[in-house]
């Protein structure tokens, strides 16, 4: 059993043990807006669930909690019903944001230097677009969140010719676990950039 699969299995077993009361606690606690939000070891010790800190453009930070893992797909949710779904750290679906979207073939995204095509269904306005993407390895980097991590940085260049939308996405991957620790992504042509920091709690 490889390390990445083992870690995901731990996450899944942890999520599978959530009770109705747990979900009610999640709904009451996981979405906290605070422009001065600082994540440190004390903050993490007081959390019962893995969580992500999200920033959209210049809006205040918010906390979303991990509620399910299935087939490498992680679902993060807020008390207000906003939902961000990730695969390998990449946002593949959103619900309840100003500009939602669904990636229809998200399995194509992998952390290895390659070119590939993604099909994305946009909302507000509704449209289906095709992205031509190239992902490259940019080197090793030290990343400080609650502590120092050694990461591999991957950069994804994307282009949608039909609407002249292009840019770069960044993914910092923990070298010891293979899990995404930080990402900077553009997911919708009308949405501001989204930054995510991931904090995994093994209990």
pTM of the model: 0.81
Domain count, the chain: 1
- E strands along 35-164, which residues? 51-56, 62-70, 73-77, 83-87, 90-95, 101-103, 114-122, 127-144, 148-160
Rounded distance between C-alpha atoms, residue 203 and residue 127, angstroms: 42
Write the CA distances from 184 to 67, 174, 196, integer angstroms: 22, 15, 7
State yes or no: pLDDT of 35 exceeds 60: no
Count of residues making up the chain: 203
Q: pLDDT for 117-166, tens place per residue?
A: 999 999 999 999 999 999 999 999 999 999 999 999 999 999 999 999 99
Instruction: Give residue-wise pLDDT tens across range 48-92.
Output: 889 999 999 988 889 999 999 998 999 999 878 899 999 999 999
CATH of the domain at 17: 2.40.360.10
Nearest to 94 by CA among 79, 78, 83: 83
pLDDT attached to residue 21: 40
The pLDDT value recorded for residue 61 is 87
What is the Cα–Cα distance from 180 to 199, expressed in whole angstroms?
9
Tokens 């591999």 identify what position? 152
Q: Is the peptide bond before 125 cis (omega within 30 degrees of 0)?
A: yes
Domain that holds residue 77: 3-199
């Amino acid at each position: 059993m490889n390390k990445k699969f083992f870690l995901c299995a731990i996450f899944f077993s942890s999520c599978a043990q959530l009770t109705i009361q747990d979900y009610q606690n999640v709904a009451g606690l996981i979405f906290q807006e605070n422009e001065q939000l600082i994540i440190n070891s004390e903050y993490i010790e007081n959390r019962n669930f893995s969580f992500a800190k999200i920033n959209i453009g210049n809006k205040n930070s918010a906390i979303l909690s991990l509620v399910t893992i299935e087939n490498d797909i992680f679902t993060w949710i807020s008390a207000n019903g906003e939902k961000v779904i990730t695969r390998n750290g990449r946002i593949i679906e959103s619900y309840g944001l100003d500009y939602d979207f669904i990636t229809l073939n998200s399995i194509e995204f992998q952390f290895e230097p390659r070119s590939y095509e993604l099909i994305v269904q946009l909302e507000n306005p509704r449209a289906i677009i095709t992205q031509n993407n190239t992902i490259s390895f940019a080197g090793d980097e030290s990343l400080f969140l609650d502590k120092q991590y050694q990461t591999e940085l991957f950069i994804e260049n994307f282009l949608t010719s039909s609407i002249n939308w292009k840019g770069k996405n960044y993914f910092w991957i923990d070298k010891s676990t293979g899990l995404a620790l930080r990402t900077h992504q553009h997911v919708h042509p009308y949405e501001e950039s989204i930054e995510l920091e991931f904090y995994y709690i093994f209990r």
